[in-house]
């Protein structure tokens, strides 16, 4: 059946990463097992009771369905939103790979319709990714590389230090490169709390696996408990520092807050 717990389905443009500004149909999955201090969609942390679906492309008007949402209803929503007129279908969240069978089913149904299938993930669930790519090819995987200066697991105790994510991200990157994935890039959200050593470790890990992998440094958009961006001087210094280890480093802020669409 591959029903899915969804938060929303809507038409917009990609707001971050190397394809910023590209027309995109978003399928947002519910639930996430991380707690990012700067998260702008904390309403996706828990499974959603209902899903909102845009009623026409660009209308910003929505109807509501109870969860879980059947696969045929997702396809019907994509048809109403003229899926074929988009450059990408983004499977995002929350964390979509907490529902790997649903991700694979949606990708199978929409993958031959014109847009490229674009998975946005926290880049930790390597086994789930392998389960998806065993069924269907993905055109783009955008994997976050989380820094413990601002990110914790939902299961972490509230006090004390969180374990770094580097080993899990390394396994995920290897799995993405070995699977049926057309393109992989890594995105790191950087804040005033981010440390040079954290970024050095990210770059060293990527360089040891696939040095040509694009690395996007994304200045945080203040949200949650994060109230300010890093200074321009620090952002540019980080960009230079990372570019000493990797050939394709890009500093790209989020744009979707400008047009008020998450």
Instruction: Report the pLDDT averaged over residues 141-160.
Output: 92
Domains and CATH numbers, the chain: 6-259 (3.20.20.70)
pLDDT value, residue 262: 46
Instruction: Report the pLDDT averaged over residues 207-219.
Output: 97
Least reliable range by pLDDT among 38-42, 132-136, 179-183: 38-42
Residue that is written with structure tokens 């929505």 in the block: 62
Coil, strand, or helix at residue 146? Answer: coil
Least reliable range by pLDDT among 69-83, 91-105, 219-233: 219-233
Closest to 230 in 3D by CA, of 200, 188, 186? 188
Reported in sequence order, the residue ranges of 14-49 that DSSP labels E, i.e. its strands, are 23-29, 34-36
Assess whether pLDDT exceeds 80 at residue 183: yes
* Residue 158 pLDDT level (bands cut at 50, 70, 90): confident
Residue that is written with structure tokens 């942390």 in the block: 45
Sorted by sequence, the CB contacts under 8 Å of residue 195 that are 6+ apart come out as 147, 149
Q: Give CA–CA dist 124/138, Å, rounded.
A: 17
Which helix or strand (DSSP H or E) is residue 57 part of? none
Q: Give CA–CA dist 72/77, Å, rounded.
A: 9
Helices marked H in 43-159 = 71-80, 100-110, 126-133
Closest to 45 in 3D by CA, of 135, 155, 134? 155
Cis peptide before 232 (omega within 30 of 0): no
pLDDT value, residue 1: 61
Assess whether pLDDT exceeds 80 at residue 238: yes
Instruction: Report the pLDDT averaged over residues 69-78.
Output: 97
Sheet with 215-219: list strands edge to edge: 62-66, 50-54, 6-13, 23-29, 88-92, 116-121, 138-144, 181-190, 215-219, 249-251
Instruction: Report the pLDDT averaged over residues 38-46.
Output: 88
β-pairing verdict for 34-36 and 151-153: antiparallel
**DSSP secondary-structure letter at 152?**
E
pTM of the model: 0.95
* Residue 162 pLDDT level (bands cut at 50, 70, 90): confident
- Structure tokens of 96? 């979509």
- Structure tokens of 112? 């031959």
| Model pLDDT for residues 118-132, shown as the tens digit of each residue | 999 999 999 999 999
Sorted by sequence, the CB contacts under 8 Å of residue 20 that are 6+ apart come out as 13, 14, 252, 255
* Residue 260 pLDDT level (bands cut at 50, 70, 90): low
């Amino acid at each position: 059946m591959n029903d899915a717990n969804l938060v929303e389905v809507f038409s917009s443009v990609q707001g971050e990463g190397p394809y910023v500004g590209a027309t995109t149909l978003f399928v947002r999955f519910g639930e996430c097992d991380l707690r990012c201090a700067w998260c702008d969609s904390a309403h996706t942390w828990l499974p959603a009771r209902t899903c909102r679906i845009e009623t026409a492309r660009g209308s910003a008007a929505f109807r509501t369905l109870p969860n879980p949402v059947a696969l045929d209803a997702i396809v019907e929503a994509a048809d109403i939103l003229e899926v074929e007129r988009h450059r990408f279908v983004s499977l995002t969240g929350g964390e979509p790979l907490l529902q790997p069978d649903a991700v694979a089913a949606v990708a199978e149904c929409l993958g031959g319709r014109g847009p490229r299938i674009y998975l946005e993930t926290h880049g930790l669930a390597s086994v789930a990714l392998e389960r998806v790519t065993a069924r269907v090819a993905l055109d783009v995987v955008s994997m976050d590389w989380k820094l413990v200066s601002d990110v914790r697991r939902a299961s972490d105790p509230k006090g004390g230090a969180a374990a770094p994510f580097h080993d899990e991200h390394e396994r995920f990157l290897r799995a993405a490169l070995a699977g049926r994935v057309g393109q992989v890039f890594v995105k790191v959200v950087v804040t005033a709390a981010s440390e040079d050593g954290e970024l050095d470790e990210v770059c060293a890990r990527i360089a040891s696996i696939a040095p040509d992998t694009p690395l996007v440094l994304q200045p945080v958009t203040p949200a949650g408990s994060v109230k300010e961006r890093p200074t321009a001087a620090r952002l540019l210094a980080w960009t230079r520092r990372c570019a000493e280890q990797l050939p394709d480093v890009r500093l790209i802020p989020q744009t979707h807050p400008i047009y008020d669409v998450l």
